[in-house]
């Protein structure tokens, strides 16, 4: 779904004009946690090597967060206010040169602070898109401050067709401070359809059970369910059975469970061998032999089927999560880390979008809630956080949770990609020709047209800042723009953002 090479659906971050190995070969060990800025670290990670990403980045909430002194997370702090000082000019250059749709989204933001935040997020989402496998999924946790802009960024990076759901998590029940106070967060989910697992189902509402499952016998609670379906049929399902003609019952036909959970339950528990019976009438007889037909007392009433409540019957979670309470101060899992999320929330997402041994990645892992939840469900995991407290907490939390010592790798270095094959010299003729075609001869600085010989190949992100020699990081500048590049200051960025 998240095919990095599909133009039009998603932004092309991976050029295919040199050999790129698109296999999931991680260049890190399972259970690695990095301390550092996630951007250079992700730039060093191999493409298509992660199955599930959950990120809970700063929200641009204009707040500063700090853990209480004395808590397990003491020392953890991060600011959530964005200014132009947080933005590297090269990032904007990269977006302008290579991702025009993203550029549009950024310029749709109203304030410089919001634009700065979106640039910060956009460059990171591009890396996440590259790192995620084409079968993978990504959940972006945010709040109403920026969720509307972030959804546009996600559409631009991952493709609108990959959008799966916008989840609302009711994170608090009461806010007495103001009318229409915010009680929810938003989780944007893109990627592959979530799976329905019995242990991810929610308990049925007792009121619903009382209202709908009114009958009860030794086999459990049951409700009376129609045995017919819309439209008549000329086959056996349209013929009368025991004197009841479905055609005369509003033009219908016999419709009995054939597939799905209830058919399986009948076959395995209520009437063993049911699915082996051939023929509609024979199956109806079989159901009756096993007392699964509800013969209503009222004269002329059509027979129905007894639908028992399945032992693990539950509601599939919807995109409205109201059953996961926020972390209380006294909760055992509370580390005191600012903005810590409940394990139950992460467990639900991880179960729905990954399998055993898949790689779960959290690039803003905080006190490692995602990593603990992944570990609990036998997923592989990696995480990054800029705060050193995260590393300390992950080791402690996983040990406390699983009750054993785990081989956790703590790193601060930037990994080196091993999936690029041989990249040609950045300045080679092939690159220059490709870029000349891509930019149609226009200098990416002054936007003027130049003849081929007056243009020079330039690194968008300098090599000294982790920018590579691959085409996704190269552009053509005219000789004069190339000379002045590097001398540009804040005014240049201000002018660009003002447009």
Ligand X SMILES: C[S@@+](CC[C@H](N)C(=O)[O-])C[C@H]1O[C@@H](n2cnc3c(N)ncnc32)[C@H](O)[C@@H]1O
What is the contact surface with ligand X in residues (CB under 6 A)? 37-38, 56-58, 78, 337, 339-341, 364, 366-367, 369, 384-387
* Interface positions, 404-443, toward Zn ion (CB under 5 A): 443
Q: Please say which residue, 193 or 412, places its beta carbon nearer to ligand X.
A: 412
**Taking the complex as a whole, how short is the minimal distance between the CB of residue 377 and ligand X, in angstroms?**
16
Q: Please say which residue, 57 or 191, places its beta carbon nearer to ligand X.
A: 57
**Taking the complex as a whole, how short is the minimal distance between the CB of residue 284 and ligand X, in angstroms?**
54
Q: Please say which residue, 172 or 447, places its beta carbon nearer to Zn ion.
A: 447
**What phi and psi, each to the nearest 5 degrees, are found at residue 424?**
-70, 165
State the Rg of the chain over Cα.
29
Residue 333 contacts which entry, Zn ion, ligand X, none (Cβ below 5-8 A, type-dependent)? none
Size (the chain), residues:
499
**Taking the complex as a whole, how short is the minimal distance between the CB of residue 424 and Zn ion, in angstroms?**
24
**Taking the complex as a whole, how short is the minimal distance between the CB of residue 178 and ligand X, in angstroms?**
23
* Interface positions, 119-138, toward Zn ion (CB under 5 A): none
Q: Could you tell me which residues come within 8 angstroms of residue 270 by beta carbon, excluding any fewer than 6 positions away?
A: 219, 290, 292, 308
Q: Please say which residue, 290 or 454, places its beta carbon nearer to Zn ion.
A: 454
Tell me the torsion sign for CA atoms 229, 234, 240, 245: positive
Residue 340 contacts which entry, ligand X, Zn ion, none (Cβ below 5-8 A, type-dependent)? ligand X
Residue 303 contacts which entry, Zn ion, ligand X, none (Cβ below 5-8 A, type-dependent)? none
Residue 481 contacts which entry, Zn ion, ligand X, none (Cβ below 5-8 A, type-dependent)? Zn ion
Q: Please say which residue, 121 or 284, places its beta carbon nearer to ligand X.
A: 121
**Taking the complex as a whole, how short is the minimal distance between the CB of residue 444 and Zn ion, in angstroms?**
8
Residue 367 contacts which entry, Zn ion, ligand X, none (Cβ below 5-8 A, type-dependent)? ligand X
**Taking the complex as a whole, how short is the minimal distance between the CB of residue 445 and Zn ion, in angstroms?**
4
With binding defined as CB under 5 A, does residue 26 bind Zn ion? no
Stretch that binds Zn ion, among 130-138, 308-316, 329-337, 480-488 (CB under 5 A): 480-488
Which position among 45, 153, 408, 478 is part of the footprint of Zn ion (CB under 5 A)? 478
**Taking the complex as a whole, how short is the minimal distance between the CB of residue 140 and ligand X, in angstroms?**
12
Q: Nearest-CB residue to ligand X? A: 366
**Taking the complex as a whole, how short is the minimal distance between the CB of residue 331 and Zn ion, in angstroms?**
58
Residue 484 contacts which entry, Zn ion, ligand X, none (Cβ below 5-8 A, type-dependent)? none
With binding defined as CB under 5 A, does residue 485 bind Zn ion? no
With binding defined as CB under 5 A, does residue 481 bind Zn ion? yes
Write the secondary structure of the chain as one string of H (helix), E (strand) and C (coil): CCCCCCCCCCCCCCCCCCCCCCCCCCCCCCCEEEECCHHHHHHCCCCCCEEEEEECCCCCCCEEEECCCCCCCCCCEEEECCCHHHCCHHHHHHHHHHCHHHHHHHHHCCCHHHHHHHHHHHHHHHHHHHHEEEEEEEEEEECCCCHHHHHHHHHHHHCHHHEEEEEEEECCCCCCCCCCCCCEEEEEEECCCCCCCHHHCECCCHHHHHHHCCEEECCEEEEEEECEEECCCCCHHHCCECCECHHHCCCEEECCCCCHHHHHHHHHHHCCCHHHCCCHHHHHHHHHHCCCEECCCCCCCCCEEEEECCCCCCECCCCEECCCCCCCCCCCCCCCCCCCCCHHHHHHHHHHHCCCCCEEEECCCCCCHHHHHHHHCCCEEEEEECCHHHHHHHHHHHHHHHCCCCCCEEECCCCCCCCCCCCCCCCCHHHHHHHHHHCCCECCCCCCECCHHHEEEEECCCHHHCCCCCHHHEEEEEHHHHHHCCCCCHHHHHHHHHC
Q: Please say which residue, 38 or 137, places its beta carbon nearer to ligand X.
A: 38
Residue 192 contacts which entry, ligand X, Zn ion, none (Cβ below 5-8 A, type-dependent)? none
CB 348 within 8 A of CB 317: yes
Residue 364 contacts which entry, ligand X, Zn ion, none (Cβ below 5-8 A, type-dependent)? ligand X
Q: Please say which residue, 39 or 97, places its beta carbon nearer to ligand X.
A: 39
Q: Please say which residue, 58 or 191, places its beta carbon nearer to ligand X.
A: 58
CA angle in degrees (0–180, nearest 5) for 302-308-310? 150
Q: Please say which residue, 56 or 375, places its beta carbon nearer to ligand X.
A: 56
116: its two tokens: 């700065």
**Taking the complex as a whole, how short is the minimal distance between the CB of residue 59 and ligand X, in angstroms?**
7
Q: Which residues partner with 65 through β-bridges? A: 78
Residue 136 contacts which entry, Zn ion, ligand X, none (Cβ below 5-8 A, type-dependent)? none
Q: Please say which residue, 458 or 469, places its beta carbon nearer to Zn ion.
A: 458
Q: Please say which residue, 136 or 366, places its beta carbon nearer to ligand X.
A: 366
Residue 478 contacts which entry, ligand X, Zn ion, none (Cβ below 5-8 A, type-dependent)? Zn ion
Q: How far apart are the first and last CA of the chain?
A: 34
Per-residue contact flags (x/-) with Zn ion for residues 438 to 477, judged by CB under 5 A: -----x-xx-------------------------------
Three-state DSSP state, 352: helix
d(CA 139, CA 230): 40
Q: Please say which residue, 345 or 478, places its beta carbon nearer to Zn ion.
A: 478
Residues at the interface with Zn ion (CB under 5 A): 443, 445-446, 478, 481
């Amino acid at each position: 779904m998240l095919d990095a090479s599909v133009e039009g659906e998603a932004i092309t971050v991976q050029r295919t004009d040199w050999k790129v190995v698109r296999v999931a070969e991680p260049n890190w060990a399972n259970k690695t946690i990095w301390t550092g800025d996630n951007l250079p670290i992700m730039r060093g990670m191999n493409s298509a090597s992660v199955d599930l990403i959950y990120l809970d980045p700063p929200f641009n909430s204009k707040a500063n967060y700090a853990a209480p002194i004395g808590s397990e997370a003491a020392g953890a702090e991060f600011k959530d206010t964005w200014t132009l000082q947080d933005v590297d000019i090269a990032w904007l250059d990269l977006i302008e040169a290579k991702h025009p749709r993203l550029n549009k989204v950024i310029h749709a933001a109203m304030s410089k602070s919001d634009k700065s935040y979106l640039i910060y997020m956009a460059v990171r989402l591009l890396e996440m898109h590259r790192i995620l496998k084409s079968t993978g999924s990504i959940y972006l946790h945010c709040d109403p401050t920026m969720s509307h802009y972030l959804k546009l960024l996600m559409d631009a990076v991952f493709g609108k067709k990959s959008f799966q759901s916008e989840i609302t998590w009711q994170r608090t029940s009461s806010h007495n401070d103001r009318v229409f106070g915010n009680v929810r967060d938003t989780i944007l989910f893109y990627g592959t359809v979530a799976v329905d697992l019995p242990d991810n189902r929610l308990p049925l509402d007792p009121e619903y059970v009382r209202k709908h499952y009114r009958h009860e016998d030794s086999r459990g609670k049951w409700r009376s369910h129609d045995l017919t379906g819309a439209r008549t049929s000329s086959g056996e399902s349209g013929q009368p059975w025991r004197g009841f003609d479905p055609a005369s019952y509003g033009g219908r036909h016999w419709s009995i469970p054939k597939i799905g959970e209830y058919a399986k339950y009948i076959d395995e528990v209520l009437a063993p061998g049911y699915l082996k019976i051939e023929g509609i009438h024979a199956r109806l007889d079989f159901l009756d032999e096993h007392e699964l037909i509800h013969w209503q007392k009222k004269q002329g009433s059509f027979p129905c089927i007894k639908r028992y409540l399945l032992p693990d019957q539950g509601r599939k979670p919807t995109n409205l999560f109201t059953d996961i309470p926020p972390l209380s101060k006294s909760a055992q899992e509370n580390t005191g880390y600012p903005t810590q999320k409940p394990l139950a929330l992460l467990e639900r997402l991880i179960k729905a979008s990954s399998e055993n041994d898949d790689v779960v990645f959290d690039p803003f892992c905080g006190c490692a809630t995602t990593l603990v939840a992944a570990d609990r469900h036998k997923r592989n995991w990696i995480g990054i956080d800029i705060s050193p407290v995260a590393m300390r907490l992950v080791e402690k939390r996983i040990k406390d949770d699983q009750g054993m010592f785990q081989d956790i790798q703590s790193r601060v270095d930037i990994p080196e990609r091993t999936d690029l094959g041989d990249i040609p010299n950045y300045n080679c003729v092939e690159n220059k020709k490709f870029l000349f075609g891509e930019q149609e001869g226009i200098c990416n600085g002054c936007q003027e047209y130049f003849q081929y010989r007056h243009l020079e190949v330039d690194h968008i992100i300098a090599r000294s800042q982790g920018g590579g020699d691959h085409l996704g990081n190269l552009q053509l500048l005219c000789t004069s723009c190339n000379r002045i590049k590097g001398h540009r200051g804040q005014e240049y960025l201000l002018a660009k953002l003002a447009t």
